[in-house]
Structure 1
Amino acid sequence: MSARARAVRAVLALGLAAPLLTGCFEEPSPHEAVRDFLLGWQSGDYAAAARRADGDPATVRRALEDVRLQLDAASIRFSIKDIAHDGDDGRADFHAEVDLGENNPLWQYDGLLPLHLVGGEWKVRWSPSVIHPDLHAGQRLAVATVPVGRKPILDRDGNPLQDETPLQVAGVKPAKIKDPGRLCEELSRVTGFAQDRLLGRILSSPPQDFVALATFGRNKYQQIKDKLAAIPGLEIVTDNPPVAPKSPVQIVGRVTAITAEAEQQLGGPQRAGDTIGRDGLQRAYQDQLTGSTETRIVILDSKTWQQVKELKAWPGRQNTEVRTTIDSRMQSAGDDAVRGSRPAALVAVQASTGEILAVSTSELNQEKDALAGKFAPGTAFSIIAAHGLLKGGLDPEQKVPCSADRTVGGARFQQPGILGLVAPSFQTDFAQGCVTALASLARRINGPALASSAAEFGIGTGWRLPLRSFSGSVPGAGDDAAVAKVIAGQSARVSPLSMALVAAAVDSGTWRPPVLVLSPEQPVTTSEPSARPAPGPVALDATVTGRLRTLMRAGVSSGSAHAATAPGGTVYGVASQVTQTDKKQRRTLSWFVGWQGDVAVAVMAESGDPGTAATMAGSFFRDSNVQP
């Protein structure tokens, strides 16, 4: 019978089909020898595998165990591709899949088990090439990694929005460590990092390379530096990644060294950049800023540690800078404008693009409050109400009394300090922010018309930003009282960002969704849960917006927003004051919403002075040198 006729071939997955093989073949047959060897190796029963090899059992056991350690493998799985024998000699071709652990690739390769009969029993002819065809005596496997430093977040002009900050990196050169197990035990005790993961990183790395094991910020390092210094063989080096955020701090976000808790979530004691974004854009763009580590499987000379051959390489994902729309000069002007002891927020956008130029706060959070806060806008909401009223045919010169007290549909409205304006025009009422006059127009517009105007200004639509935001909400208004409360800005809720975009829409004639990041693109967070597609630009009625601009110019030139006046250009806007009560918290808010040139702003301050926000806006326009 020919050798080909005598060959028995099988293709099976060991983890699934091995139990079916028991009893299927009787010795002498190579199948059980191949099965037992690969199953023992796969399951970690190295003694069982060694019994099926012709080498020294202790040598075989140690070699197979070392492979898992040298690769820091989470698992190794095999499948038999082919088994053939002719007389006393045979061979088995197998396929190996090595899981290199979380955040690492799957290494696959084909191997060969040479077989021969020894005393009537099939054995694997042992040599290092059983592990991998290219591995020979005096050599070992290793996993070489090339970490990538964290990239910066930039402003619109390419300037970094963070400073370099020294971090302390604890690591080792494996070739210098006499007892890596003990070192990892002590480091684990001090840091909380998993001992087995620390050890796996050391044993799998090229012995001559510096292996980073843990990174510490200044405070954490000061707390444990004496304990770290007491660990023999542990080295401390300093890294200076760009991680200390500049203004706007909460938009840029903070970065921290990976902690033991974060390590459990991310996998492995080390990750590209060795830092993790805690909040802001640093968190939203973590993967883009850090990329992924380049990984290579290599064969090293066991004595010189020189690389003999590269078996496989994964280049990793390239990291990239994140370029924002923030204008650092305007950001500084915004910070100066709101600086003080009272809670305040200022958002500036480019009217022609929707790009966010500055997000400044005092005692408020830039993301949670300036972008995503839910505040009553008061008569600043009259911009939207006026849009609906003008579309419905209201003449800005129509006389609308401004009284100190007025009841509309059972809802009471009060306007202090406007006594004597018996029969002003709607334009004057708008400019002065007369809540009683504006509320009295509830019968000139209904709830759906108000909601339609609000939607044209992006209120209640689903924005898409990499950070949380709130586009605003308008409650259903089924009667005159409810409509009056919407017009007066008492029941509607907005964020400073949403109102800055309202001003931008009146200025440019088109409402545009906000933009915070110019590059790269990434999945983004909607302003509120919604199945609706992201909104696009909305062109507004040119005639109506023209009249709105006239109204908002009067708000600064002769109305309650006069404090926003700034040299170098004409300022348009409205000011308002409203008392908001939410969850037993009562606060009085001062608003300014308007623009100068191509820069639209919304300012909100907690203040009993209705002109506070307008004063802050004027300071911003003056210091930022906005061009008309």
Structure 2
Amino acid sequence: MIRRFTSLLLGLALVGGGMSACAPAKDDGTTTAKALAQALTKHTVGELPFDQPGATIQKELDALAKGVDPVWPAVSVENVVVNKDGSAKVALDYSWKLPKTTTAWAYKTEASMQRDGDGWKIAWAPAMIEPSLKAGERLKIDSLYTQRAGILDASGDAIVKDRPVRIVGINKNGLSEADAEAGASALAAVLEIDPTNFIAKVKAYGPVAFVDAITLRDDAFAALDQVRLKSIPGFLATVGTMPLAPSRTFAQAILGTVRDATAEDIEKSKGEVVAGQVVGASGLQAAFDSQLAGTPGITVLAVPGETSSEQSTEKPSTAAPATASPTPAAATDQPPRQLFSVPPVEGKDVKTTLVTAIQNDAEGALAHLSTPSSVVVMRASTGAILASANGPASNGYNTAFLGQYAPGSTFKIATALGLLRQGLTPDSKLSCTPKFTADGKNFLNAPGYAASALGEISMTVAIAHSCNTAFVSQFDKLPQDKLADAAAALGIGMSNDLGLDAFMGSVPRDSAGTEHAASMIGQGKVQASPLALAALMSTVVKGSVSAPVLIDAHDGKAKPASSPALTAPEALALQSMMRASVTDGYLDLLADLPGAPAIGKTGTAEFGTENPPHTHSWVIAAQGDIAVAVFVEDGDLGAVTAGPIAKAMLAAAAGK
């Protein structure tokens, strides 16, 4: 922390070879005053001329700075008044930028100097730092944090709120070091955490400290082996609260988590974060951390300095050892004095578009899957995301928003739009053959393709039965850039700030040959996320681009990729073909849903190098104003794996 700088030259005489140079004019006090202000700003005295040894004053500055580190003021000179008796008064302006507040702490102090030859000697006094500061007092910043604001669902009810937890750890009070280490090892085994790190943490803490290992929800704590826990030396579980969702998995990748600020958080924040503060670690908790946390109240205190005998035994300190002289007894008898205060400002809730009941249903629909999976439910007219869930095998990753996968036959909706713009109609005939060769590559239909749907069939039938060869056969009639334009008209590739990172799909504009042919059926280099396909489905229903919305009143500045916009006749044509998927195709399981007619499209995207290849399972579907996208990595045919989940979600969303 201490940085030395070269002392200012206050006078210089040059004599040599019988020649002399004129000495510069004596310092009128301004140069020394500015050097003082610079030294105080850096809280480093260097070799400035004081009336006490510089090392003594440096110790005082270090002790003063310790309680407010890394915060320190900027100091400047307002004026210097020189008296006839050779003394001078320096008016100093102080300005502190305190953590997480726009209100600066500003005040003036005064320093005394006395002429000393051609230079000056500065009289040290604590009041030079703050006008009321007394000898032996130290500065301290206290932060007062209000309760963290909540994350709300679409109805305004709190999703994330303070819920009971158990803070599990080892209480070292009364334990020998050997017993404490044994207890730490045994507890780590029960909790299935890294024993090496926890044992080291327990050893580092003081002899009477409680050393936390993990914070668990009440249900997770109850599931532990209570008999084993009670047998562990020093085991202790204290009751507390933390801002949590209804369950560990509920919208986990969206909501995110919080944690107590780490040493790394504090160091990176440069004073914005302090020990004991709760900070957002991921998801919306991190993205909207400032809004949720609010602004802490800041109080600057003058407190009695520690005597050399005062030592903490509870936790190891990472701060530098105190270098100040022992505090005078009189100073330790004084209560803390408030020098400056800014009241806290409460955080503001973040209201999402999530519907708790639908989100719960989405979580449940994926609970049985053993590969990464996701469900996205949107209200087509507004773009509101009513639910976005990821299966347990996603392991906390936001597959729904960030997954980049070949969309397979769901992308035939974009291809169909491109063909409509090339002059075809839903009734136009396409050739559906068992095999089609494009630029030397053979394309086949999905296993079990119905023989009755082969031959010259309408584009509507090709959509309903998902004939690969029918669409690939048109690759030389629909240029790649026109295919990309059609996808863009359906929302693929749009830019949109949801408040969280999201991948809205990509379609290359320069694919050629077999890569272009593969693009016609959502393979090649075409990529989409489940969210992107939910937006595509919503756009077909709405008749114009439906940009996803996650945070109420948050302007995502959505901008579709450059493309001719979707027209009403085009949307109606796509809807009619997707209805055929339900009435005469692979999505007939949606036909018995009560209410508005359901529409949709299956998708089975090949990946990997095995023969036969593994497949991703997709379904996009809609009923009324509700659009759904379902994805299962390494699943069966779209209708087989994703179809029942899509049906369950449409039924769950009905009327909610």
User: TM-score normalized by structure 2?
Assistant: 0.72
Q: Secondary structure at the match of 2:363?
A: helix
Q: 1:493 to 1:585 in 2, by over 3 A?
A: farther
Matched, 1:439 2:462: no
- Equivalent of residue 580 in structure 2, options 554, 566, 578: 554
Q: Secondary structure at the match of 1:241?
A: strand
Shift of 1:556: 1.0
Shift of 1:499: 0.9
Q: Secondary structure at the match of 1:319?
A: coil
Q: 1:351 to 1:264 in 2, by over 3 A?
A: same
Q: 1:82 to 1:563 in 2, by over 3 A?
A: same
Q: Secondary structure at the match of 1:451?
A: helix
Matched, 1:331 2:359: yes
What's the counterpart of residue 545 of structure 1? 571
Q: Secondary structure at the match of 1:594?
A: strand
Q: Distance in 2 between matches of 1:382 and 1:36?
A: 73
Q: Distance in 2 between matches of 1:325 and 1:370?
A: 16
Q: Distance in 2 between matches of 1:22 and 1:44?
A: 25
Matched, 1:230 2:207: yes
Q: Does 412-421 or 534-543 show the bigger shift? A: 534-543
What's the counterpart of residue 109 of structure 1? 107
- Equivalent of residue 65 in structure 2, options 68, 75, 97: 68
Q: Distance in 2 between matches of 1:452 and 1:441?
A: 16
Q: Aligned partner of 1:400: which letter?
A: L
Matched, 1:596 2:597: no
Aligned residues: CA RMSD: 4.5
Q: Distance in 1 between matches of 2:429 and 2:28?
A: 106
**Structure 1 residue ranges without an equivalent (≥5):** 1-14, 171-216, 527-532
Q: 1:585 to 1:304 in 2, by over 3 A?
A: farther
What's the counterpart of residue 501 of structure 1? 535
Q: Distance in 2 between matches of 1:443 and 1:121?
A: 89
Q: Secondary structure at the match of 2:475?
A: helix
Matched, 1:19 2:8: yes
Q: Distance in 2 between matches of 1:548 and 1:486?
A: 19
Residues 510-529 of structure 1 aligned to structure 2 (within 5 Å): 510-519=544-553
Q: Secondary structure at the match of 2:451?
A: coil
Shift of 1:67: 3.0
Q: Distance in 1 between matches of 2:540 and 2:599?
A: 10
What's the counterpart of residue 291 of structure 1? 294
Q: 1:254 to 1:73 in 2, by over 3 A?
A: closer
Q: Aligned partner of 2:643: which letter?
A: A
CA contact (8 A) 1:418 1:434 kept: no
Shift of 1:296: 2.7
Matched, 1:240 2:241: yes
CA contact (8 A) 2:11 2:26 kept: no
What's the counterpart of residue 52 of structure 1? 51
- Equivalent of residue 462 in structure 1, options 470, 474, 495: 495
Q: Aligned partner of 2:606: which letter?
A: T
Q: Distance in 2 between matches of 1:273 and 1:537?
A: 51
Q: 1:144 to 1:160 in 2, by over 3 A?
A: same
Q: 1:624 to 1:559 in 2, by over 3 A?
A: same
Shift of 1:243: 3.8
Q: Secondary structure at the match of 1:510?
A: coil
Q: Distance in 2 between matches of 1:26 and 1:444?
A: 89
Q: Distance in 2 between matches of 1:346 and 1:267?
A: 40
What's the counterpart of residue 357 of structure 1? 386
Shift of 1:351: 0.3
CA contact (8 A) 1:346 1:361 kept: yes
CA contact (8 A) 2:352 2:552 kept: yes
Shift of 1:573: 0.5
Q: Distance in 2 between matches of 1:477 and 1:82?
A: 69
Shift of 1:143: 2.5
What's the counterpart of residue 84 of structure 1? 81
Q: Distance in 1 between matches of 2:348 and 2:480?
A: 47
Shift of 1:472: 1.7
Q: 1:583 to 1:373 in 2, by over 3 A?
A: farther
Shift of 1:117: 8.0
Report Cα offsets for 1:201-241 as digits up to 9, x if no partner: xxxxxxxxxxxxxxxx9979986568646257999997523
What's the counterpart of residue 214 of structure 1? none
Q: Distance in 2 between matches of 1:239 and 1:58?
A: 47
Q: Distance in 2 between matches of 1:570 and 1:461?
A: 28
Q: Secondary structure at the match of 1:110?
A: strand
Report Cα offsets for 1:124-171 as digits up to 9, x if no partner: 66665444333457966442321233322222222333353548699x
Shift of 1:456: 0.7
Q: Distance in 2 between matches of 1:585 and 1:277?
A: 45
Q: 1:149 to 1:595 in 2, by over 3 A?
A: same
Q: Does 103-112 or 338-347 show the bigger shift? A: 103-112
Q: 1:569 to 1:480 in 2, by over 3 A?
A: same
Q: Aligned partner of 1:614: which letter?
A: G
Report Cα offsets for 1:406-448 as digits up to 9, x if no partner: 2244332222432133343221221111112222233442222
Q: Distance in 1 between matches of 2:78 and 2:7?
A: 13
Percent identical across equivalent pairs? 25
Q: Secondary structure at the match of 1:161?
A: strand
User: TM-score normalized by structure 1?
Assistant: 0.75
Q: Does 65-74 or 300-309 show the bigger shift? A: 300-309
Q: Distance in 2 between matches of 1:130 and 1:534?
A: 60
Q: Does 120-129 or 388-397 show the bigger shift? A: 120-129
Q: Aligned partner of 2:587: which letter?
A: A
Matched, 1:622 2:644: no
Instruction: Say which structure is richer in helix.
Output: 1
Q: Distance in 1 between matches of 2:98 and 2:24?
A: 36
Shift of 1:80: 3.6
Q: Distance in 2 between matches of 1:386 and 1:610?
A: 19
Q: Distance in 1 between matches of 2:577 and 2:509?
A: 27
What's the counterpart of residue 234 of structure 2? none
Q: Does 353-362 or 283-292 show the bigger shift? A: 283-292
**Structure 2 residue ranges without an equivalent (≥5):** 13-22, 170-190, 213-236, 305-330
Q: Aligned partner of 1:21: which letter?
A: L
Q: 1:369 to 1:169 in 2, by over 3 A?
A: closer
Matched, 1:373 2:431: no
Q: 1:587 to 1:162 in 2, by over 3 A?
A: farther
Q: Aligned partner of 1:320: which letter?
A: K
Q: Aligned partner of 2:82: which letter?
A: H
CA contact (8 A) 1:347 1:602 kept: yes
Q: 1:138 to 1:352 in 2, by over 3 A?
A: same
CA contact (8 A) 2:51 2:123 kept: no
Q: Distance in 1 between matches of 2:387 and 2:168?
A: 35
Q: Distance in 2 between matches of 1:284 and 1:396?
A: 45
Q: Does 321-330 or 90-99 show the bigger shift? A: 90-99
Shift of 1:281: 1.8
Q: Distance in 2 between matches of 1:474 and 1:580?
A: 17
Q: Secondary structure at the match of 2:452?
A: coil
What's the counterpart of residue 143 of structure 1? 141
What's the counterpart of residue 210 of structure 1? none
Q: Distance in 1 between matches of 2:41 and 2:467?
A: 80
Q: 1:398 to 1:288 in 2, by over 3 A?
A: same
Report Cα offsets for 1:66-110 as digits up to 9, x if no partner: 433454465566444333333437442232546678778875432
Q: Secondary structure at the match of 2:430?
A: coil
Shift of 1:555: 0.7
Q: Aligned partner of 2:357: which letter?
A: R
CA contact (8 A) 1:348 1:600 kept: yes
Q: 1:608 to 1:32 in 2, by over 3 A?
A: closer
Q: How many pairs are equivalent?
A: 558
Q: Secondary structure at the match of 2:429?
A: coil
Q: Does 611-620 or 299-308 show the bigger shift? A: 299-308
Q: Distance in 2 between matches of 1:82 and 1:623?
A: 74
Report Cα offsets for 1:250-281 as digits up to 9, x if no partner: 11112222233333323459538723333222
Q: Does 97-106 or 390-399 show the bigger shift? A: 97-106
- Equivalent of residue 277 in structure 1, options 275, 280, 283: 280
Shift of 1:592: 1.0
